Amino acid sequence: MTSSPLFLTSNPYSLLPPPPPHHHRRHSRFNPRCCTQNNTAKNARPNLASSLCNAADDFIDKHLQKALKPSIDPRFVLAGNYAPVKETPPTECTKVEGTLPACINGVYLRNGPNPLFPPRPGQGHHLNDGDGMLHALSIRHGRPIFCSRFVHTDKLVQELTAGRSLFPRVFAGFFGLAGMARGALAAARAALGVVDQSYASGLANTSVLFFGKKFMALGESGMPYAFVITQNGDICNVGRHDFGGKLKLGMTAHPKIDPFTGELFASRYAFAPPFLNFFRVDTHGEKHPDVPIQSMKRPVFVHDFAITGNYAIIPDSQIVVDPMEMILRKGSLIVCDSAKVPRLGVLPRYAIDDSEMLWFDVPGLNIVHTLNAWEEGDEELVLIAVNSEPVEYILEQNHLLKTCVEKIRLNLGSGSVSRKRLSSNLGLEFGVINPRYLTKKNRYAYMAIGAPFPKARGFAKLDFEKEKDGGECIVGSRIFGENCFGGEGCFVARSDEKEDDGYLVGFVHDESAGTSKLLVMDALSPTLEIVASVQLPARVPYGFHGLFVSQDMAFDQSL
Protein backbone atom coordinates (compact mmCIF):
# COMPACT_ATOMS: atom_id res chain seq x y z
CA MET A 1 0.00 0.00 0.00
CA THR A 2 1.32 3.45 -0.89
CA SER A 3 0.10 6.89 0.07
CA SER A 4 0.63 10.40 -1.15
CA PRO A 5 2.96 12.75 0.71
CA LEU A 6 1.25 14.53 3.56
CA PHE A 7 1.16 18.29 3.10
CA LEU A 8 -0.09 20.59 5.80
CA THR A 9 -3.79 20.71 4.97
CA SER A 10 -5.32 20.03 8.38
CA ASN A 11 -4.95 21.04 11.99
CA PRO A 12 -1.38 20.11 13.06
CA TYR A 13 -2.24 20.21 16.75
CA SER A 14 -4.26 17.02 16.37
CA LEU A 15 -0.89 15.27 16.14
CA LEU A 16 -0.20 15.94 19.81
CA PRO A 17 -2.09 14.81 22.91
CA PRO A 18 -2.97 16.93 25.96
CA PRO A 19 0.00 17.71 28.21
CA PRO A 20 1.27 14.97 30.54
CA PRO A 21 0.11 14.78 34.17
CA HIS A 22 1.28 17.54 36.47
CA HIS A 23 3.85 15.42 38.30
CA HIS A 24 5.69 14.95 35.00
CA ARG A 25 5.23 18.55 33.86
CA ARG A 26 7.25 20.02 36.66
CA HIS A 27 10.42 18.39 35.34
CA SER A 28 10.13 19.90 31.88
CA ARG A 29 11.98 23.03 30.77
CA PHE A 30 9.19 23.73 28.31
CA ASN A 31 5.86 25.42 28.87
CA PRO A 32 3.52 22.42 28.88
CA ARG A 33 0.57 24.60 27.88
CA CYS A 34 2.00 24.86 24.36
CA CYS A 35 1.03 21.22 23.84
CA THR A 36 -2.68 22.01 23.74
CA GLN A 37 -4.57 23.38 20.80
CA ASN A 38 -6.31 26.31 22.50
CA ASN A 39 -3.28 27.68 24.30
CA THR A 40 -1.09 27.19 21.23
CA ALA A 41 -3.47 29.20 19.10
CA LYS A 42 -3.44 31.96 21.70
CA ASN A 43 0.34 32.04 21.97
CA ALA A 44 0.83 31.95 18.20
CA ARG A 45 -0.82 35.29 17.33
CA PRO A 46 1.58 36.81 14.81
CA ASN A 47 3.21 40.19 15.32
CA LEU A 48 4.50 42.34 12.49
CA ALA A 49 8.03 40.90 12.57
CA SER A 50 6.87 37.28 12.48
CA SER A 51 4.33 38.05 9.73
CA LEU A 52 7.00 39.64 7.55
CA CYS A 53 9.35 36.71 8.12
CA ASN A 54 6.60 34.23 7.28
CA ALA A 55 5.84 36.13 4.08
CA ALA A 56 9.53 36.01 3.14
CA ASP A 57 9.57 32.28 3.90
CA ASP A 58 6.62 31.70 1.56
CA PHE A 59 8.28 33.82 -1.15
CA ILE A 60 11.45 31.70 -1.02
CA ASP A 61 9.43 28.49 -1.36
CA LYS A 62 7.40 29.81 -4.28
CA HIS A 63 9.93 31.79 -6.30
CA LEU A 64 13.50 30.81 -5.35
CA GLN A 65 13.31 27.05 -4.83
CA LYS A 66 14.48 25.29 -7.99
CA ALA A 67 13.22 21.91 -9.14
CA LEU A 68 13.48 19.36 -6.37
CA LYS A 69 15.87 16.44 -6.69
CA PRO A 70 14.48 12.98 -5.77
CA SER A 71 16.46 13.03 -2.52
CA ILE A 72 14.41 15.99 -1.23
CA ASP A 73 11.17 15.65 -3.18
CA PRO A 74 8.28 14.98 -0.74
CA ARG A 75 6.51 12.88 -3.37
CA PHE A 76 9.22 10.28 -2.78
CA VAL A 77 10.67 10.85 0.67
CA LEU A 78 7.33 11.24 2.48
CA ALA A 79 5.36 8.56 0.64
CA GLY A 80 4.16 5.19 1.87
CA ASN A 81 5.59 4.21 5.25
CA TYR A 82 7.75 7.34 5.30
CA ALA A 83 4.63 9.50 5.66
CA PRO A 84 4.23 11.22 9.06
CA VAL A 85 2.12 9.64 11.79
CA LYS A 86 0.28 11.00 14.81
CA GLU A 87 1.25 10.20 18.37
CA THR A 88 -0.15 7.02 19.92
CA PRO A 89 -0.93 7.08 23.66
CA PRO A 90 -0.13 3.94 25.67
CA THR A 91 -2.16 1.16 24.07
CA GLU A 92 -2.16 -2.53 24.94
CA CYS A 93 -1.23 -4.87 22.10
CA THR A 94 -3.82 -7.62 22.16
CA LYS A 95 -2.54 -9.78 19.29
CA VAL A 96 0.61 -11.71 20.21
CA GLU A 97 1.70 -14.78 18.27
CA GLY A 98 4.13 -17.20 19.86
CA THR A 99 5.62 -16.70 23.32
CA LEU A 100 7.57 -13.64 24.38
CA PRO A 101 10.82 -14.80 26.06
CA ALA A 102 11.33 -13.82 29.69
CA CYS A 103 14.46 -11.78 28.86
CA ILE A 104 12.36 -9.53 26.58
CA ASN A 105 10.60 -8.05 29.62
CA GLY A 106 11.59 -4.39 29.46
CA VAL A 107 11.35 -1.60 26.90
CA TYR A 108 12.30 -1.66 23.24
CA LEU A 109 12.64 1.89 21.87
CA ARG A 110 13.34 3.11 18.38
CA ASN A 111 13.85 6.70 17.22
CA GLY A 112 13.22 8.15 13.80
CA PRO A 113 12.28 11.25 11.79
CA ASN A 114 8.61 12.24 11.69
CA PRO A 115 7.97 15.87 10.64
CA LEU A 116 5.35 17.64 12.75
CA PHE A 117 4.90 20.18 9.94
CA PRO A 118 5.34 18.44 6.60
CA PRO A 119 6.71 20.61 3.80
CA ARG A 120 4.50 23.18 2.13
CA PRO A 121 3.97 22.88 -1.65
CA GLY A 122 7.21 23.76 -3.43
CA GLN A 123 9.32 23.05 -0.34
CA GLY A 124 11.80 20.20 -0.17
CA HIS A 125 12.29 17.66 2.59
CA HIS A 126 15.09 15.23 3.37
CA LEU A 127 14.52 12.14 5.49
CA ASN A 128 17.15 13.32 7.98
CA ASP A 129 15.28 16.59 8.60
CA GLY A 130 12.20 15.13 10.31
CA ASP A 131 11.39 15.80 13.96
CA GLY A 132 12.32 13.06 16.39
CA MET A 133 9.62 10.56 17.31
CA LEU A 134 10.08 7.75 19.82
CA HIS A 135 8.27 4.44 19.37
CA ALA A 136 8.28 2.33 22.54
CA LEU A 137 7.05 -1.18 23.26
CA SER A 138 7.02 -1.81 27.00
CA ILE A 139 6.70 -5.46 28.03
CA ARG A 140 6.02 -6.33 31.65
CA HIS A 141 5.21 -9.93 32.58
CA GLY A 142 4.55 -10.67 28.92
CA ARG A 143 2.02 -7.80 28.54
CA PRO A 144 3.05 -5.44 25.70
CA ILE A 145 2.09 -1.73 25.70
CA PHE A 146 2.86 0.44 22.65
CA CYS A 147 3.35 4.23 22.65
CA SER A 148 4.66 6.84 20.19
CA ARG A 149 5.56 10.40 21.19
CA PHE A 150 7.35 13.36 19.65
CA VAL A 151 10.57 14.47 21.31
CA HIS A 152 9.91 17.96 22.66
CA THR A 153 12.95 19.68 21.24
CA ASP A 154 13.38 23.46 21.39
CA LYS A 155 12.65 23.54 17.66
CA LEU A 156 9.44 21.54 17.86
CA VAL A 157 8.02 23.53 20.78
CA GLN A 158 8.66 26.87 19.06
CA GLU A 159 7.13 25.69 15.80
CA LEU A 160 4.15 24.20 17.59
CA THR A 161 3.54 27.53 19.31
CA ALA A 162 3.81 29.42 16.01
CA GLY A 163 1.64 26.94 14.11
CA ARG A 164 4.14 26.53 11.26
CA SER A 165 7.72 25.54 10.50
CA LEU A 166 10.21 28.27 11.41
CA PHE A 167 13.65 26.76 10.95
CA PRO A 168 15.27 25.76 7.63
CA ARG A 169 15.86 22.08 7.00
CA VAL A 170 19.61 21.47 7.03
CA PHE A 171 19.70 18.75 4.35
CA ALA A 172 16.85 20.01 2.15
CA GLY A 173 16.87 23.75 2.81
CA PHE A 174 20.35 24.87 1.85
CA PHE A 175 20.65 24.68 -1.92
CA GLY A 176 21.89 27.58 -4.08
CA LEU A 177 20.14 30.96 -3.94
CA ALA A 178 17.20 29.61 -1.97
CA GLY A 179 19.62 28.22 0.62
CA MET A 180 21.39 31.54 1.03
CA ALA A 181 18.03 33.31 1.36
CA ARG A 182 16.92 30.84 4.04
CA GLY A 183 20.15 31.41 5.94
CA ALA A 184 19.57 35.17 5.87
CA LEU A 185 15.94 34.71 6.95
CA ALA A 186 16.97 32.49 9.85
CA ALA A 187 19.39 35.20 11.02
CA ALA A 188 16.64 37.84 10.68
CA ARG A 189 14.14 35.79 12.71
CA ALA A 190 16.68 35.42 15.49
CA ALA A 191 17.69 39.11 15.42
CA LEU A 192 14.04 40.22 15.55
CA GLY A 193 13.29 37.92 18.45
CA VAL A 194 10.84 35.81 16.46
CA VAL A 195 12.73 32.64 17.37
CA ASP A 196 15.35 31.51 19.86
CA GLN A 197 18.15 29.90 17.85
CA SER A 198 20.17 28.78 20.90
CA TYR A 199 19.29 25.09 20.67
CA ALA A 200 16.89 25.00 17.73
CA SER A 201 19.18 23.00 15.44
CA GLY A 202 18.61 19.82 17.45
CA LEU A 203 16.09 17.32 16.08
CA ALA A 204 16.82 14.39 18.43
CA ASN A 205 15.63 12.06 15.66
CA THR A 206 18.43 9.51 15.32
CA SER A 207 19.02 7.23 18.31
CA VAL A 208 18.28 6.52 21.96
CA LEU A 209 20.64 6.39 24.95
CA PHE A 210 20.19 4.95 28.44
CA PHE A 211 22.95 6.18 30.72
CA GLY A 212 23.04 7.05 34.40
CA LYS A 213 19.46 5.80 34.81
CA LYS A 214 18.31 8.34 32.22
CA PHE A 215 16.72 7.89 28.82
CA MET A 216 17.82 10.37 26.15
CA ALA A 217 16.82 10.97 22.54
CA LEU A 218 19.84 11.89 20.42
CA GLY A 219 20.60 13.63 17.15
CA GLU A 220 24.03 14.99 16.36
CA SER A 221 22.65 18.34 15.23
CA GLY A 222 21.92 19.33 18.83
CA MET A 223 21.58 18.46 22.50
CA PRO A 224 20.33 15.24 24.07
CA TYR A 225 16.71 15.39 25.26
CA ALA A 226 15.78 13.39 28.35
CA PHE A 227 12.50 11.54 28.77
CA VAL A 228 10.86 9.11 31.18
CA ILE A 229 9.09 5.81 30.56
CA THR A 230 6.19 5.66 33.01
CA GLN A 231 4.79 2.57 34.68
CA ASN A 232 1.91 2.51 32.19
CA GLY A 233 4.29 2.66 29.20
CA ASP A 234 3.92 6.36 28.36
CA ILE A 235 6.82 8.53 27.17
CA CYS A 236 7.03 11.83 29.07
CA ASN A 237 9.46 14.53 27.97
CA VAL A 238 11.79 16.04 30.54
CA GLY A 239 13.87 18.50 28.48
CA ARG A 240 17.42 19.16 27.37
CA HIS A 241 20.11 17.25 29.21
CA ASP A 242 23.43 19.09 29.40
CA PHE A 243 25.35 17.07 32.03
CA GLY A 244 25.17 19.76 34.67
CA GLY A 245 25.70 22.62 32.23
CA LYS A 246 28.97 21.22 30.86
CA LEU A 247 27.61 20.20 27.46
CA LYS A 248 27.12 23.35 25.41
CA LEU A 249 26.43 22.53 21.77
CA GLY A 250 25.40 18.91 21.48
CA MET A 251 26.93 15.51 20.84
CA THR A 252 27.00 12.55 18.49
CA ALA A 253 23.99 10.32 18.03
CA HIS A 254 26.30 7.33 18.61
CA PRO A 255 28.06 7.69 21.98
CA LYS A 256 29.72 4.56 23.34
CA ILE A 257 29.28 3.08 26.80
CA ASP A 258 32.17 0.87 27.85
CA PRO A 259 30.43 -2.16 29.45
CA PHE A 260 33.50 -2.86 31.59
CA THR A 261 34.09 0.62 33.05
CA GLY A 262 30.62 2.13 32.73
CA GLU A 263 32.01 5.32 31.16
CA LEU A 264 30.42 7.10 28.22
CA PHE A 265 32.54 8.42 25.35
CA ALA A 266 31.23 10.87 22.78
CA SER A 267 32.22 13.35 20.09
CA ARG A 268 30.77 16.48 18.54
CA TYR A 269 31.53 17.96 15.15
CA ALA A 270 31.06 21.62 14.29
CA PHE A 271 31.10 23.97 11.30
CA ALA A 272 33.75 26.24 12.88
CA PRO A 273 37.11 25.41 14.50
CA PRO A 274 37.65 23.16 16.32
CA PHE A 275 35.74 21.05 13.84
CA LEU A 276 35.67 18.04 16.15
CA ASN A 277 35.69 17.57 19.92
CA PHE A 278 35.97 14.34 21.89
CA PHE A 279 34.94 13.88 25.53
CA ARG A 280 33.94 11.37 28.16
CA VAL A 281 31.41 11.19 30.98
CA ASP A 282 32.34 9.18 34.06
CA THR A 283 30.12 6.76 35.97
CA HIS A 284 28.94 9.57 38.26
CA GLY A 285 27.57 11.51 35.29
CA GLU A 286 30.40 14.05 35.39
CA LYS A 287 31.34 15.32 31.93
CA HIS A 288 35.09 15.83 31.52
CA PRO A 289 36.55 18.67 29.40
CA ASP A 290 36.40 18.53 25.62
CA VAL A 291 39.48 17.39 23.74
CA PRO A 292 39.65 19.56 20.57
CA ILE A 293 40.85 17.62 17.54
CA GLN A 294 42.95 20.39 16.01
CA SER A 295 44.24 18.07 13.30
CA MET A 296 40.75 17.97 11.75
CA LYS A 297 41.19 20.85 9.29
CA ARG A 298 37.68 21.22 7.86
CA PRO A 299 34.09 20.45 8.88
CA VAL A 300 33.34 16.77 8.30
CA PHE A 301 30.27 14.60 8.85
CA VAL A 302 31.51 12.34 11.69
CA HIS A 303 28.39 10.32 12.41
CA ASP A 304 29.96 7.46 14.35
CA PHE A 305 33.24 6.26 15.85
CA ALA A 306 34.55 3.26 17.79
CA ILE A 307 36.38 2.65 21.06
CA THR A 308 38.71 -0.03 22.36
CA GLY A 309 39.95 -0.43 25.91
CA ASN A 310 42.51 2.34 25.39
CA TYR A 311 41.69 4.21 22.18
CA ALA A 312 39.02 5.94 20.15
CA ILE A 313 38.97 5.39 16.38
CA ILE A 314 37.48 8.36 14.50
CA PRO A 315 36.67 8.33 10.76
CA ASP A 316 37.39 11.38 8.58
CA SER A 317 35.27 10.70 5.48
CA GLN A 318 34.60 12.40 2.16
CA ILE A 319 31.28 13.86 3.41
CA VAL A 320 32.08 17.49 4.19
CA VAL A 321 30.37 20.82 4.76
CA ASP A 322 31.21 23.28 1.98
CA PRO A 323 29.40 26.68 1.98
CA MET A 324 31.13 27.65 -1.28
CA GLU A 325 29.42 24.75 -3.05
CA MET A 326 26.09 26.33 -2.17
CA ILE A 327 27.15 29.92 -2.94
CA LEU A 328 29.24 29.53 -6.11
CA ARG A 329 27.88 26.36 -7.68
CA LYS A 330 24.32 26.54 -6.32
CA GLY A 331 24.63 23.09 -4.86
CA SER A 332 24.13 21.61 -1.42
CA LEU A 333 25.77 22.76 1.81
CA ILE A 334 26.70 19.12 2.58
CA VAL A 335 28.61 17.45 -0.25
CA CYS A 336 30.92 14.60 -1.14
CA ASP A 337 34.51 15.65 -1.82
CA SER A 338 35.67 12.85 -4.13
CA ALA A 339 39.22 14.24 -4.25
CA LYS A 340 39.70 13.88 -0.50
CA VAL A 341 41.49 10.80 0.88
CA PRO A 342 39.52 9.33 3.82
CA ARG A 343 41.41 8.81 7.08
CA LEU A 344 41.09 7.03 10.40
CA GLY A 345 42.30 8.85 13.50
CA VAL A 346 43.43 6.98 16.62
CA LEU A 347 43.25 8.96 19.87
CA PRO A 348 44.08 7.66 23.37
CA ARG A 349 40.66 7.77 24.97
CA TYR A 350 41.90 9.52 28.14
CA ALA A 351 43.96 12.10 26.22
CA ILE A 352 43.74 15.77 27.24
CA ASP A 353 44.70 16.99 23.75
CA ASP A 354 45.27 15.52 20.30
CA SER A 355 49.08 15.65 20.38
CA GLU A 356 49.26 11.84 20.50
CA MET A 357 46.67 11.30 17.78
CA LEU A 358 47.72 9.16 14.83
CA TRP A 359 46.11 9.43 11.39
CA PHE A 360 45.96 6.61 8.84
CA ASP A 361 45.09 7.29 5.20
CA VAL A 362 42.56 4.70 4.02
CA PRO A 363 41.58 5.41 0.39
CA GLY A 364 38.02 4.47 -0.48
CA LEU A 365 36.90 3.93 3.11
CA ASN A 366 33.84 6.04 4.00
CA ILE A 367 32.37 4.92 7.30
CA VAL A 368 28.91 5.94 8.41
CA HIS A 369 28.49 3.28 11.11
CA THR A 370 30.92 1.13 13.09
CA LEU A 371 30.16 -2.20 14.75
CA ASN A 372 33.05 -2.78 17.17
CA ALA A 373 36.78 -2.39 17.74
CA TRP A 374 39.36 -4.06 19.94
CA GLU A 375 43.10 -4.38 20.54
CA GLU A 376 45.29 -7.30 19.56
CA GLY A 377 48.73 -7.22 21.16
CA ASP A 378 50.41 -3.95 22.05
CA GLU A 379 50.29 -2.24 18.67
CA GLU A 380 47.38 -3.50 16.57
CA LEU A 381 43.80 -2.27 16.55
CA VAL A 382 40.98 -4.07 14.77
CA LEU A 383 37.95 -2.15 13.55
CA ILE A 384 34.76 -3.68 12.15
CA ALA A 385 32.77 -1.10 10.18
CA VAL A 386 30.53 -0.57 7.16
CA ASN A 387 32.01 1.04 4.08
CA SER A 388 29.63 3.00 1.82
CA GLU A 389 30.33 2.57 -1.87
CA PRO A 390 29.99 5.13 -3.41
CA VAL A 391 29.46 7.56 -0.56
CA GLU A 392 27.76 10.26 -2.65
CA TYR A 393 24.59 8.15 -2.81
CA ILE A 394 24.01 8.93 0.86
CA LEU A 395 23.40 12.54 -0.11
CA GLU A 396 22.15 12.48 -3.68
CA GLN A 397 19.81 9.49 -3.59
CA ASN A 398 18.82 9.70 0.10
CA HIS A 399 19.75 6.06 0.65
CA LEU A 400 22.62 3.61 0.54
CA LEU A 401 22.76 1.46 -2.58
CA LYS A 402 25.94 -0.48 -1.96
CA THR A 403 27.70 -1.17 1.31
CA CYS A 404 30.28 -3.64 2.52
CA VAL A 405 31.27 -4.80 6.00
CA GLU A 406 35.05 -4.60 6.44
CA LYS A 407 37.65 -5.61 9.00
CA ILE A 408 40.39 -2.97 9.17
CA ARG A 409 43.67 -3.51 11.00
CA LEU A 410 45.71 -0.49 12.11
CA ASN A 411 49.29 -1.01 13.28
CA LEU A 412 50.28 1.78 15.66
CA GLY A 413 53.96 0.94 15.38
CA SER A 414 54.46 0.68 11.63
CA GLY A 415 51.55 2.86 10.52
CA SER A 416 50.35 0.11 8.17
CA VAL A 417 46.73 -0.57 7.28
CA SER A 418 45.16 -3.80 6.06
CA ARG A 419 41.56 -4.39 5.03
CA LYS A 420 39.36 -7.40 4.35
CA ARG A 421 35.76 -7.68 3.20
CA LEU A 422 33.50 -9.67 5.49
CA SER A 423 30.42 -9.67 3.28
CA SER A 424 29.42 -9.88 -0.34
CA ASN A 425 27.55 -6.96 -1.86
CA LEU A 426 24.21 -7.64 -0.23
CA GLY A 427 23.96 -4.08 0.98
CA LEU A 428 24.36 -4.61 4.73
CA GLU A 429 24.09 -1.74 7.22
CA PHE A 430 22.57 -0.83 10.60
CA GLY A 431 24.63 -3.52 12.32
CA VAL A 432 24.36 -4.49 15.99
CA ILE A 433 26.31 -6.79 18.28
CA ASN A 434 25.86 -8.17 21.76
CA PRO A 435 26.49 -4.90 23.67
CA ARG A 436 28.37 -6.76 26.40
CA TYR A 437 31.20 -7.28 23.87
CA LEU A 438 31.80 -3.64 22.98
CA THR A 439 35.59 -2.86 23.09
CA LYS A 440 36.27 -6.61 23.30
CA LYS A 441 36.99 -9.07 20.50
CA ASN A 442 33.69 -10.46 19.30
CA ARG A 443 32.56 -12.91 16.68
CA TYR A 444 28.98 -12.14 15.66
CA ALA A 445 27.02 -9.23 14.22
CA TYR A 446 23.47 -8.82 12.99
CA MET A 447 22.98 -6.61 9.95
CA ALA A 448 19.95 -5.21 8.18
CA ILE A 449 19.72 -6.11 4.46
CA GLY A 450 18.99 -2.96 2.48
CA ALA A 451 15.97 -2.59 0.22
CA PRO A 452 17.65 -0.04 -0.19
CA PHE A 453 18.35 1.73 3.09
CA PRO A 454 16.94 2.96 5.31
CA LYS A 455 14.40 0.26 4.41
CA ALA A 456 15.54 -3.30 5.09
CA ARG A 457 14.09 -6.49 3.64
CA GLY A 458 15.58 -8.77 6.28
CA PHE A 459 18.43 -9.51 8.66
CA ALA A 460 21.73 -11.33 8.19
CA LYS A 461 23.93 -12.91 10.85
CA LEU A 462 27.70 -12.59 10.35
CA ASP A 463 30.42 -14.74 11.87
CA PHE A 464 33.74 -12.87 11.67
CA GLU A 465 35.71 -16.06 12.29
CA LYS A 466 34.71 -17.40 8.87
CA GLU A 467 36.97 -14.86 7.14
CA LYS A 468 40.05 -16.75 8.32
CA ASP A 469 39.21 -19.56 5.93
CA GLY A 470 38.26 -17.20 3.14
CA GLY A 471 34.64 -18.27 3.48
CA GLU A 472 31.39 -16.30 3.41
CA CYS A 473 30.85 -14.63 6.78
CA ILE A 474 27.04 -14.64 6.47
CA VAL A 475 25.91 -17.69 8.43
CA GLY A 476 22.22 -16.94 8.91
CA SER A 477 19.47 -14.77 7.51
CA ARG A 478 15.77 -14.00 7.46
CA ILE A 479 13.81 -12.21 4.77
CA PHE A 480 10.65 -10.58 6.11
CA GLY A 481 8.42 -11.52 3.18
CA GLU A 482 6.71 -9.89 0.25
CA ASN A 483 6.17 -6.16 0.73
CA CYS A 484 7.42 -6.38 4.32
CA PHE A 485 10.30 -4.16 5.43
CA GLY A 486 12.03 -3.13 8.62
CA GLY A 487 15.20 -1.40 9.73
CA GLU A 488 17.84 -1.89 12.40
CA GLY A 489 17.51 -4.79 14.81
CA CYS A 490 18.49 -4.94 18.47
CA PHE A 491 20.26 -7.83 20.21
CA VAL A 492 18.89 -8.92 23.60
CA ALA A 493 21.08 -11.40 25.47
CA ARG A 494 19.47 -14.50 26.98
CA SER A 495 22.53 -15.63 28.94
CA ASP A 496 26.25 -14.97 29.30
CA GLU A 497 27.23 -18.46 28.17
CA LYS A 498 27.55 -17.70 24.45
CA GLU A 499 27.98 -14.42 22.62
CA ASP A 500 25.08 -15.12 20.26
CA ASP A 501 22.74 -16.67 22.85
CA GLY A 502 19.85 -14.23 22.67
CA TYR A 503 17.19 -12.68 20.48
CA LEU A 504 17.06 -10.17 17.68
CA VAL A 505 14.11 -7.76 17.91
CA GLY A 506 12.90 -5.11 15.51
CA PHE A 507 9.90 -3.38 13.97
CA VAL A 508 8.62 -4.62 10.59
CA HIS A 509 5.98 -2.98 8.40
CA ASP A 510 3.69 -4.77 5.94
CA GLU A 511 3.20 -2.29 3.09
CA SER A 512 0.31 -4.28 1.60
CA ALA A 513 -1.72 -4.43 4.81
CA GLY A 514 -0.49 -1.09 6.18
CA THR A 515 0.29 -2.67 9.57
CA SER A 516 3.39 -2.83 11.76
CA LYS A 517 4.60 -5.42 14.24
CA LEU A 518 7.50 -6.32 16.47
CA LEU A 519 9.39 -9.49 15.56
CA VAL A 520 11.39 -11.51 18.11
CA MET A 521 13.88 -13.86 16.43
CA ASP A 522 16.18 -16.54 17.85
CA ALA A 523 19.72 -15.23 17.26
CA LEU A 524 21.18 -18.75 17.51
CA SER A 525 19.04 -20.07 14.68
CA PRO A 526 20.56 -20.11 11.15
CA THR A 527 17.17 -18.95 9.87
CA LEU A 528 16.72 -16.41 12.67
CA GLU A 529 13.54 -18.24 13.55
CA ILE A 530 10.63 -16.06 14.66
CA VAL A 531 9.61 -17.06 18.20
CA ALA A 532 7.08 -14.27 18.77
CA SER A 533 5.44 -11.35 17.01
CA VAL A 534 3.41 -8.46 18.45
CA GLN A 535 0.87 -6.67 16.27
CA LEU A 536 1.13 -2.93 16.93
CA PRO A 537 -1.92 -0.65 17.20
CA ALA A 538 -0.38 1.99 14.94
CA ARG A 539 1.91 2.27 11.94
CA VAL A 540 5.61 2.73 12.69
CA PRO A 541 7.43 4.66 9.90
CA TYR A 542 10.87 3.54 8.79
CA GLY A 543 13.46 5.12 11.07
CA PHE A 544 16.93 4.84 12.47
CA HIS A 545 18.35 3.45 15.71
CA GLY A 546 17.04 2.01 18.95
CA LEU A 547 17.88 -0.01 22.03
CA PHE A 548 16.44 -2.45 24.54
CA VAL A 549 16.52 -1.82 28.29
CA SER A 550 15.61 -4.60 30.70
CA GLN A 551 12.65 -4.23 33.04
CA ASP A 552 14.67 -3.77 36.23
CA MET A 553 16.65 -0.91 34.63
CA ALA A 554 13.92 0.65 32.50
CA PHE A 555 11.63 1.37 35.43
CA ASP A 556 14.43 2.52 37.74
CA GLN A 557 14.97 5.96 36.24
CA SER A 558 16.27 9.19 37.70
CA LEU A 559 15.42 12.73 36.68
pLDDT by residue (tens digit) across 492-549? 999 998 999 999 999 999 999 999 999 999 999 999 999 999 999 999 999 999 999 9
Dist CA 24 CA 557 (whole Å): 13
pLDDT at 217 over 90: yes
pTM of the model: 0.90
Q: Given phi > 0 = left and psi -120 to 50 = alpha, else beta, which region is 233?
A: left
Dist CA 15 CA 84 (whole Å): 10
Segment 215-229 shows an average pLDDT of 96
Cis bond upstream, residue 90 (ω within 30): no
Q: Please tell me the predicted confidence (pLDDT) of residue 294.
A: 96
CA 101 to chain centre: 27
Domain residue ranges of the chain, discontinuous segments joined by +? 1-92+114-243, 254-421
Dist CA 311 CA 347 (whole Å): 6
pLDDT at 397 over 80: no
Residues 6+ apart with CB under 8 A from 187: none
Nearest to 412 by CA among 334, 358, 467, 352: 358
What is the pairing mode between strands 291-292 and 256-257? unpaired
pLDDT at 304 over 50: yes
Q: Please tell me the predicted confidence (pLDDT) of residue 46.
A: 66
